Structures are given as structure tokens and as C-alpha cells.
């Protein structure tokens, strides 16, 4: 039976706000005939349903036959979008530019060429002011068509300007396209694999990046070229776990918006994502004081009209702030406080289920499990890790691996000796198959195998040996991947110094809090 997650009309209706629903009904009644009253009845029924159920819909609408339903749904879907377009045009630069182009085409087709050119000139200025060069290309294309086919009494200077503009815009769009393609491909690689696992991954990523990126920052101009240039360097650095470079280019990304604040409203999605990446970079580097400042700034932004203008921005701002707050607890060792936010977070994720992708859910499940693990609530950690393990998701193979490792460690902490031996072999095989074994993981697996039959009172010397093996790897770039997913060193130190993992991390946080970055 179709459900809320895959019926596009049901999803669209459930995403509408009260004002948008009211506007839709006024729009239909004003612009449609009596036959369209059926789609209003269909709209009302779908709006009241909790889950999509076709049998229930037909039962509530006896005047609609099953054979009619598909066409009515398609018609309703288009009418809702038309209503939204009319309602939201003044709120969005892209919609305004699209409307101007539509008006110009209508006027041109009516033979009112000079009126069309006036609208196109205004549209071009709006596009230039907001750096919407793809829209400028469409405007210039229509201008050229009119100038080529008709005598408009345009000056020779204006014609030359138009041809130069066309060449400049074409070159700019080509550069932006190449850079945005590079950014997208790097992001896709990360979503699928996570961080570079070994020197082979590093070599492949480096070769691909160097063959596609401009030679220097001086080779890029304008907001969008710089934006995608910085984004590509962010993903390149993040995949390679060069967290200092990741931080620097995340900061450059945000500086673009600070230098041209108008673009925050124009490209809110990129601003929100940039803030998220900057916070992630500070988390990876443990820049405690700056992390708190940027998180506060992000929370203040979440209250603004720009952040709340569209569901997409509102939802993702909330998601990224929640992610940052979890990272803050993981960074400070305040696990007990962190688990208190989980029920509210789960409620929000349910509320936002239409807008949240699978990758984000996997990440949240791992972060929630990490909070429970740090707070010594191992059974709850296992529940959330099982959601990742059982999902068989074809993304973030790294999280699939570390979810299994943390799952194994949770059972170890619970003293589930009956399954530890077989579970250790299973997790080892999985991580080996995924080429996800580093020296750190090898040391952990060896420790678990060697200490399987050792009594608890004899474990401390073995933990000391494990700490000696992995402590020096903390600054090794290919080994830090393990530490990025779980603070294994702090876990082992807790066993050695007979403290909780939370206490060990919090003491490190207090010692580093006054450091100047």
C-alpha cells in the first residue's frame, strides 16, 4: 500500500502551511470551473489523512471512481504548484526572474517587441544584482533573438554590449558548471565511502581533484565561482581528513556571505550548509571557544525571517543546529546532558520526515548511539546501532563499519561474553571486506581476542598495552578516521585510570578551554 513516504501528492499537501492551503482553495474557486470542485474534495480528504490509503480515499469520495483517481491526483498536484507559484513569486528571486521571462515571451508573441525588451532589461539588472547568471543567459538569449529577427532601432553600442555580455556570461556559466560538478562528485564520494580509507583512496581523490580544480584562487571570479571553489576544497580536505584545510575553506565559504550579506537571502541553502561545515570543522579540530560562538550565531540566525521563510531552510537549520549540539556534548563529554535532548530530537525528526534524507537519519542514529554509549547506556546504544546495521543502506560504508564496531564494544561493556567471540569475528570480516581496517581497529580486535578469557581484575595491564599502541597514532591522518567516529583513546584511558569516559573527555575539555586559536 502506498504510504506517506512515496505518494508525491500526499507529501506535497502535508508540507503546506495554513496560509498556503487557504490560498489554494481561493485560487481554485476563482480560476476553475465546477468540475474542479472534485479536486477540492480530494484535497480535503488527503489533508485529513494521517497516512496515504487509497481504499479509504475512494470510500470517502463515492463520486470519484478508481479509474478517475490518477488523473484527478495529477490535476490537483499541478494546481497546488500553480497556486504556490502565484503566492511565492514575490518572495523568491528565481521565481521573479522566471515570471519576467514569461511576461517578455508573452509580449513578444503578441508582437509587442519593445515592451518585451523593457521587461528583459529590468530582469537582467535584477539578475545581475543577485548574481543569477543562468537567468541572465536566458534573458540575453531572448534579447538577441528579438534583436536578430526584428528592427528595434537599438544602437550599435547596445548591440556590441549585448554580444560581449553573452560571451562573458557563457564563460562564467561554464566555469561555475565545472566547479559545481567537481563539488558534487566529491560530495557523492564522501556520502558513499566517508573519509579516505588508505593511501590508494588518497591517491585517487587527489588525482581527480587536481585534474578538475582551477590552478589557484586567483583564477576564479564572482560569488558563485568562489563559492563552488571553496566548497570543492572543503570536501577534498574533509575526505582526506586534512581538518585544518577543511576549517580554512569552510571559513572562506562563510566569509563570502559576510562580504555580500545580500546573498544570504539569495542563497540561504548554501549559507546554512556553510555554517554546518564550519561547525563540523571546529568540532574535528576541537576549537571549543570558536565552536560555541558560531553555534550561538547559528541559533540567532535560526530566529530570522530568512531562516524561516521556507520549510526547506527552516528544517535544515534546525537539523544542523541539533547535530552541532550533539557534537558539543560529544566534544565536552557531557553525555548525561546530551541524552536529555534525544526525545525532542526524535520528535523533530518525525515531524520533518518528509524533508530529511536517509543519509542524515543514519548520521543521527550513530550520533545518538554515541551519546548513549558515552553515558554508559549500552543497551540503548545497541538499539540505535541496530537501526544502521539492519538498514543495509548503500551509503556511508564507513558508518556501517563503525556502527558495527561500536555495537561490538557495547556488548563488551555489557559483559555479553556468549556472543563476543563470534561478534568480533563477524565485525572484523565486515570491516576487512570494506577495506576499513586501520592500525587502530586492528589493535582493538587483537585486544578483544587476547582478553576474551582474562578475568576482569587482570584487564587493566592489557588496557595499558592497548593505550600505548594507539596513543601515538592520534596525529596520524589515516588513523584519525577511527577517532573521528568514536573517541576510542578516551574510552581506553577511562579503563586505565579507572574513570568514566565522560570524565576523561570533560577533563580534556577543561584543560583546553582557555587555549587561544
Helix/strand/coil (H/E/C) assignment for every residue in 189-206: HHHHHCCCCCHHHHHHHH
Domain coordinates of the chain in residue numbers?
Answer: 8-90, 92-154, 387-517
Q: How far is the C-alpha of 69 from the C-alpha of 59, rounded, in Å? A: 12
Task: Please name the residues in contact with 324: beta carbons below 8 A apart, sequence gap of 6 or more.
Answer: 276, 279, 283, 291, 295, 298
Which residue in this structure is represented by grid cell 567471540?
421
Q: What is the chain's Cα-based Rg?
A: 28
- Residue 476, CA distances (Å) to 196, 240, 277, 441 in order: 13, 12, 22, 14
The pLDDT assigned to 517 comes to 44
Contact between 104 and 120 (Cβ < 8 Å):
yes
Nearest 10 degrees: Cα torsion 318, 320, 322, 327: -170
Read off the C-alpha cell for 261: 550579506
SS3 46: helix
Distance CA 325, CA 101 (A): 44
Which one, of 104, 87, 118, lies nearest residue 17 by Cα? Answer: 87
pLDDT in tens, 399-431: 888 899 999 999 999 989 889 889 999 999 988
Would you give the DSSP letter of residue 393?
-
Give the residues of the chain that fall short of pLDDT 70.
Answer: 1-5, 32-36, 151-156, 392-395, 436, 475-482, 513-517
**What pLDDT sits at residue 2?**
37
Residue 501 near residue 491, CB atoms below 8 Å = yes
List the grid coordinates of 329.
Answer: 556534548
What contacts 24+ positions apart, CB below 8 Å, involve 303-311? Answer: 306/264, 306/265, 306/268, 307/268, 307/272, 309/91, 309/268, 310/268, 311/15, 311/17, 311/355
Query: For residue 105, how many other CB atoms are within 10 A of its CB?
Result: 14
Cα distance between residue 483 and residue 297, in whole Å: 28
pLDDT digits (tens, 9 = 90+) for 55-93: 999 999 988 888 999 999 999 999 999 999 988 888 888
Contact 254, 278 (CB under 8 A): yes
Strands annotated E in 126-240:
none
Which candidate, 191, 270, 179, 183, places its Cα nearest to that of 235? 183
Q: What is the pLDDT of residue 480?
A: 60
pTM score above 0.85 = no
Distance CA 143, CA 134 (A): 14
Enter the DSSP assignment of 472.
G
Given a contact cutoff of 8 angstroms between Cβ atoms, the answer to whether 250 and 277 are in contact is yes
Residue 413 in grid coordinates: 561493556
Amino acid at each position: 500500500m502506498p504510504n506517506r513516504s512515496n505518494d508525491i501528492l500526499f507529501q506535497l499537501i502535508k508540507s503546506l502551511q495554513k496560509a498556503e492551503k487557504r490560498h489554494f482553495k481561493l485560487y481554485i474557486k476563482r480560476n476553475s470551473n465546477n468540475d474542479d470542485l472534485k479536486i477540492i474534495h480530494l484535497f480535503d480528504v488527503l489533508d485529513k489523512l494521517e497516512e496515504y490509503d487509497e481504499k479509504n480515499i475512494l470510500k470517502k469520495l463515492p463520486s470519484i471512481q478508481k479509474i478517475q483517481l490518477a488523473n484527478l491526483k495529477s490535476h490537483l498536484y499541478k494546481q497546488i504548484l500553480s497556486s504556490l507559484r502565484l503566492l511565492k513569486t514575490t518572495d523568491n528571486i528565481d521565481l521573479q526572474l522566471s515570471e519576467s521571462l514569461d511576461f517578455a515571451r508573452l509580449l513578444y508573441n503578441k508582437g509587442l517587441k519593445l515592451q518585451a525588451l523593457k521587461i528583459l532589461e529590468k530582469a537582467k539588472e535584477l539578475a545581475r544584482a543577485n548574481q543569477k547568471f543562468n537567468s541572465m543567459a536566458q534573458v540575453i538569449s531572448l534579447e538577441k533573438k528579438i534583436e536578430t529577427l526584428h528592427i528595434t532601432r537599438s544602437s550599435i553600442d547596445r548591440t556590441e554590449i549585448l554580444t560581449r555580455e553573452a560571451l562573458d556570461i557563457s564563460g562564467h556559466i561554464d566555469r561555475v558548471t565545472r566547479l559545481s560538478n567537481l563539488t558534487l562528485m566529491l560530495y557523492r564520494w564522501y556520502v558513499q565511502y566517508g573519509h579516505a580509507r588508505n593511501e590508494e583512496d588518497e591517491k585517487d581523490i587527489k588525482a581527480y581533484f587536481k585534474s578538475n580544480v582551477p590552478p589557484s584562487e586567483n583564477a576564479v571570479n564572482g560569488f558563485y565561482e568562489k563559492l563552488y571553489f571553496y566548497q570543492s576544497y572543503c570536501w577534498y580536505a574533509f575526505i582526506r581528513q586534512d581538518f585544518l584545510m577543511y576549517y580554512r575553506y569552510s571559513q572562506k565559504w562563510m566569509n563570502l556571505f559576510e562580504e555580500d550579506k545580500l546573498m544570504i537571502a539569495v542563497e540561504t541553502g548554501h549559507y546554512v550548509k556553510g555554517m554546518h561545515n564550519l561547525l563540523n570543522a571546529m568540532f574535528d579540530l576541537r576549537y571549543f571557544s570558536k565552536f560555541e560562538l558560531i553555534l550561538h550565531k547559528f541559533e540567532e540566525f535560526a530566529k530570522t525571517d530568512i531562516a524561516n521563510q521556507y520549510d526547506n531552510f527552516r528544517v535544515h537549520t534546525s537539523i544542523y543546529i541539533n547535530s552541532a549540539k550533539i557534537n558539543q556534548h560529544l566534544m565536552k563529554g557531557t553525555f548525561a546532558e546530551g541524552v536529555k535532548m534525544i526525545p525532542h530530537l526524535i520528535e523533530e525528526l518525525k515531524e520533518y520526515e518528509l524533508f530529511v534524507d536517509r543519509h542524515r537519519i543514519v548520521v543521527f542514529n550513530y550520533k545518538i548511539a554515541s551519546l548513549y554509549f558515552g553515558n554508559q547506556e549500552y543497551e540503548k546504544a545497541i538499539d540505535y546501532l541496530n537501526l544502521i546495521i539492519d538498514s543495509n543502506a548503500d551509503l556511508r560504508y564507513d558508518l556501517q563499519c563503525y556502527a558495527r564496531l561500536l555495537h561490538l564494544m557495547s556488548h563488551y561493556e555489557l559483559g555479553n561474553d556468549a556472543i563476543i567471540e563470534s561478534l568480533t569475528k563477524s565485525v572484523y570480516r565486515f570491516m576487512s571486506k570494506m577495506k576499513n581496517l586501520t592500525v587502530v581497529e586492528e589493535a582493538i580486535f587483537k585486544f578483544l581476542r587476547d582478553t576474551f578469557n582474562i578475568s576482569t581484575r587482570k584487564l587493566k595491564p592489557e588496557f595499558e598495552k592497548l593505550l600505548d599502541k594507539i596513543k601515538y597514532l592520534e596525529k596520524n591522518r589515516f588513523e584519525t578516521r577511527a577517532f573521528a567516529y568514536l573517541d576510542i583513546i578516551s574510552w581506553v584511558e577511562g579503563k586505565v585510570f579507572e574513570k568514566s569516559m565522560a570524565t576523561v573527555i570533560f577533563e580534556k575539555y577543561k584543560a583546553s578551554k582557555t587555549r587561544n586559536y
